């Protein structure tokens, strides 16, 4: 997935969140949610593209702190 496509998806999620926040009567809530969800989407897409999706770690046996 190209970087431009990734950022366009995040911007679309942000715009949708602002719209929902405006409908609910609080545009700042929409902006806040949009930023958080947009950043989360970019991180998730980057993780998936890098092959680091999921929480499984074969070297972690859970016994060490």
pLDDT of residue 64: 63
5-31 in b/e burial notation, b at 16+ Cβ within 10 A? ebeeebeebbeebbeebeeeeeeeebe
What is the C-alpha to C-alpha distance for residues 12 and 41, in angstroms, rounded to an integer?
A: 11
- Side-chain half-sphere CA neighbours of 14 within 13 A: 14
At 13-52, the pLDDT tens digits run 888 888 888 888 888 888 888 888 878 887 888 776 665 5
Predicted model pTM = 0.59
Which carries the bigger pLDDT value, residue 61 or residue 25?
25
**Closest by alpha carbon to 41, among 2, 13, 62?**
13
The per-residue pLDDT for 11 is 81
């Amino acid at each position: 997935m190209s970087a431009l496509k990734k950022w366009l998806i995040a911007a679309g999620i942000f715009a949708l969140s602002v719209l929902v926040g405006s409908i609910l009567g609080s545009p700042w809530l929409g902006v806040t949610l949009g930023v958080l969800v947009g950043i989360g989407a970019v991180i998730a897409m980057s993780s998936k593209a890098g092959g680091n999706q999921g929480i499984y770690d074969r070297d972690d046996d859970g016994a060490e702190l």
